[in-house]
Structure 1
Amino acid sequence: MNRATHTTRVTPFGPDSTEAEVLVVVRQLAARFSTEDARRDAERILPYEEIRTLSGAGLFTLSVPKAYGGPGLSTRTLGEVFTELVAGDASIGQIPQNHFFFVNVLASAGTPEQQAFFYEEILRGRHFANALSERGSRTARDFEIGFARQPDGSRILNGTKYYATGTLFAHWIPVYAADEEGRVHAAWVPADEPGVTVEDDWNGMGQRTTGSGTVRFEQVRVPAERIVPVYTIFEKDEVFGAFGQYLHAAIDTGIAVAALRDGKRLIHELARPRKETGLDRAADEEAIIDLFGELALGVRTARALLREAGDAVDAARADLNTLTAAEASAAVAAARAHSDEVSLKVSSGIFELIGTRAADRDLNLHRHWRNARTHTLHDPRRLKLRYLGGWELNDTPPPANGLV
């Protein structure tokens, strides 16, 4: 199954680890992953070894609270982690996103016993994927997978989930399902449980090695202690949705960072100056400098908005009420809307600054645009603008729906 398992804790990070120490490790790994990023994408080489490396380095433990033996990383710094990893390899960087999403489910709605069990699983090197999306339902938030209640309180899963990012690499697959009253729960299923079939059939044009395939469940029993009532999160003030969207914004920002970095390198290596300029280097052309500066401004703004949003989520968690939750959601909506736009703009704009040679398939420079276009389809930018405008203009809090 290519999944690393451990009987003892493997993480080098703990309650005394500093965020600076974590970022040093993350940047080293990102630099290492970046050397083969283009080849993995072009040949669709799945990053089994790289995910084992992430696990061994302790990166799946970063949001485990200090009280349970984890480093309890701040939201702001977790965003930096994702931006750096994605800049190294966008697919590898996206794979942990759903893991942290479901750690947040546990933190927000799990019982103390569930939290203790799964936090220990994480500290032993195990991590989560996801089984959220379905096809054919009226909306993306309608879950029709079979979730039959049994006399002992367990549930039987029957059905299929799609776009299940990271399931090829994970130890646990949390499944979203609705009960008889339409209330959403998350059911944790071991990836190797009898009746679970994970298919490597993801065929997207971008994010090609995320393992976002199909998962089939046939008569899979989930004990009551592995089921978390997600619906309870929205019965009170929350930043659950803001946190999830924040990680998506970090992914888009990382794609933009990678595109700008590769664009700079190729302007110096491949681009030729226009003859009429009399220059020896394209990098000295004023028009190219100006346009590259505009792209760089977009990336810097994305990073600044991301940090502001991370601070807002952290502040809301420290003093959670309707006002702080709304401000966190609005800050994340701003970061998400801008990172969406800038990832597409930069990954496309670098081509015109490099010239025709940028279109050479062997460079695989277009992977950044493909990754951006694919990932930005997760949630409509137009809704982020609507929620942001409603808050800033009319003091209308963004909806508590887990999506903002």
Structure 2
Amino acid sequence: MTTSQPSTAAHPDYPAHDSAHVIADDGEALTVAAGLAEAFRPGAAERDAQRRLPHAEIDQLSSSGLLAITVPRTHGGADVTAGTLAEVFRLLATADASIAQIPQSHFVFVNVLRAQGSAVQQDFFFREVLAGRRFGNAQAEAGTPHSQDIRTRLEPDGDGGYVLHGTKNYCTGALFAHWIPVLARGAGDKPHVAYVPHDAPGVTVIDDWDGMGQRTTASGTVRLKDVVVPADRVVPHHLTFEGPQLHGAYAQLLHAAIDSGAARAALTEAAEFVRTKSRPWFESGPATAAEDPLLIQRFGTLELQVRAAQALLETAALTVDAATADLTDDTAAEASIAVAAAKAYAAETAVDTASALFEVAGTRAALNGLNLHRHWRDARTHTLHDPVRWKVQHLGRYVLSGTRPPRHGLL
């Protein structure tokens, strides 16, 4: 592998080097995330209704320094805990679930570099991230027998580098990215990740996402035709899964955080609607809907679910952090199981709470112009990312027979 450093690709949205703030520690990361959530919340319904992509908001996210908070301290980053990162995602999702989902892959591919990147690759790409550069993703493919059947190929070009070709779908973050990490099969049919500039020749990013929810994630298609990739932009991702690993647990923890935040957002908006807009049912007696004892009971039940989802998320994050400090087969299994529990429960809670919004708020809440249904559409769409029924299967096997979960990127 050559030791030359990759060149920075030209991109119309690139911030200048050193333009991004550098966050110092976990506390600052949480403060910045809370502030951005407050800034993003007022425009969320309109962005969804008009499908206005959040370019300005994602630029704010970059310049705030939040995208660099997992860069190791040895490279100038805050190296925050998994617990802090999960809370950052949960906070962002309470404001806009689409915005929260967009950087999920960014952090996953920072982790790929931490796990398998060479010293030269880490030095270069961590500086890129600290400067506000964004990673997208090009992983999933459509039309194959199953999700792990990857057809995109990384082939030697005969000159020490590679040529990449294939088509990727559901590429959340790619439209907003400066670098697009591409999952491809290389030598021995083993998975590698190629970090490709957004505007590299042969790369086409298509905004063709038309999902009913998560409408502004721009999770469209990336086409790769004879894309030249220098050797120093390729990471041997297959090595990640040859021993105990947290790649899948870490990625799924962030999805659980998004679902947990989406549930809180739906319940918060439901409560505000009932307090300010709902009429009491004529048989209930009180002068306001918020005083209806049956509604009070229902909100209490929903609050229990949302709090439980957040508690499971926090527990899972602590387990991931513990495994990071002492990584073994057993600690990795505990982390994957804890995250599986958090993800399964948060997914159910997000969908149930977003649906219950209409039950407690009444007929008026269903008016299209209010766009309250975005909460359910977002929750239902995001929770389809991977089936929670398999997470429950792994939980059951772990409890009954001590069977460790398999090593893959979705658990």
TM-score grouping bracket, smaller chain normalisation: over 0.9
Corresponding residue for 2:83? 76
Does residue 53 of structure 1 match 2:60? yes
Deviations 1:139-184, CA, capped at 9 Å, x for gaps: 1111112322122331111221111101111100000001242200
* Distance in 2 of aligned mates of 1:302 and 1:62: 24
- 1:8 and 2:18 matched: yes
3-state SS in 2 of match to 1:132 = coil
Contact 2:37/2:91, CA 8 A, preserved across alignment: yes
Structure 2 CA distance, aligned partners of 1:10 and 1:269? 40
Which digits, 9 at most, give the CA deviation of each residue in 1:317-375, with x for residues without a partner? 10011111110000000000000100000000111111000101111001011001111
TM-score by length of 2: 0.96
Deviates more, 1:371-380 or 1:107-116: 107-116
Q: Structure 1: where are the runs of 5+ without partners?
A: none
Equivalent pair of 2:22/2:68 in contact (CA under 8 Å): no
Q: Secondary structure at the match of 1:134?
A: coil
Equivalent residue for 1:320, pick from 320, 327, 331: 327
Tell me if 1:91 matches 2:98. yes
Q: Deviations over 1:298-334 (max 9, x none)?
A: 1100110001000000000100111111100000000
Identity of aligned residues (%): 49
Q: Give the equivalent residue in structure 2 for 1:361.
A: 368
Please show how residues 337-348 of structure 1 align to structure 2 within 5 Å.
337-348=344-355
Could you tell me how far apart the structure 1 residues matched to 2:191 and 2:160 are? 16
Shift in Å, 1:285? 1.0
Aligned to 2:173: 166
Pairing 1:125–2:125 present: no
Letter in 2 for 1:113: V
Q: Secondary structure at the match of 1:67?
A: helix
- Tell me, in whole angstroms, the C-alpha distance in 1 between the residues paired with 2:25 and 2:225: 44
Counterpart of 1:60 in 2: which secondary structure?
Answer: helix
Asked whether the equivalents of residues 2 and 169 of structure 1 are also in contact (C-alpha less than 8 Å), the reply is: no
Q: 2:184 aligns with which of 172, 177, 189?
A: 177
Instruction: Tell me the distance in 2 between the aligned counterparts of 1:386 and 1:368.
Output: 28
Structure 2 gap segments, 5+ residues each? 1-10
Distance 1:139 1:153, change over 3 A: farther
Letter in 2 for 1:86: A
**In structure 2, what is the Cα distance between the partners aligned to 1:4 and 1:35?**
26
Q: CA separation in 2, counterparts of 1:274 and 1:126? A: 53
Secondary structure, counterpart of 1:301 in structure 2: helix
In structure 2, what is the Cα distance between the partners aligned to 1:106 and 1:9?
A: 22
Distance in 1 separating the partners of 2:209 and 2:108? 21
The 5 Å alignment of 1:108-119 reads 108-119=115-126
Secondary structure of the structure 2 residue equivalent to 1:336: helix
**1:62 corresponding residue in structure 2:** 69
> How far, CA to CA, are the matches of 1:182 and 1:80 in structure 2?
37
Q: Which residues in structure 2 correspond to 1:194-343 (within 5 Å)?
A: 194-343=201-350
Contact 2:285 2:292 survives alignment (8 Å)? no
- What is the number of residues matched between the two proteins? 401
SS at 1:276 equivalent: coil
Deviations 1:99-121 (A, max 9, x none): 00101111111112111111011
Letter in 1 for 2:155: A
Deviations 1:67-122 (A, max 9, x none): 10001010011000000001111111111100001011111111121111110110
Q: How much is the aligned-residue C-alpha RMSD, in angstroms? A: 1.1
1:402 aligns to what? 409
1:154–1:224 contact (8 Å) kept in structure 2: yes
Q: Secondary structure of 2:216's partner?
A: coil
Aligned partners of 1:89, 1:279: CA distance in 2, in Å? 34
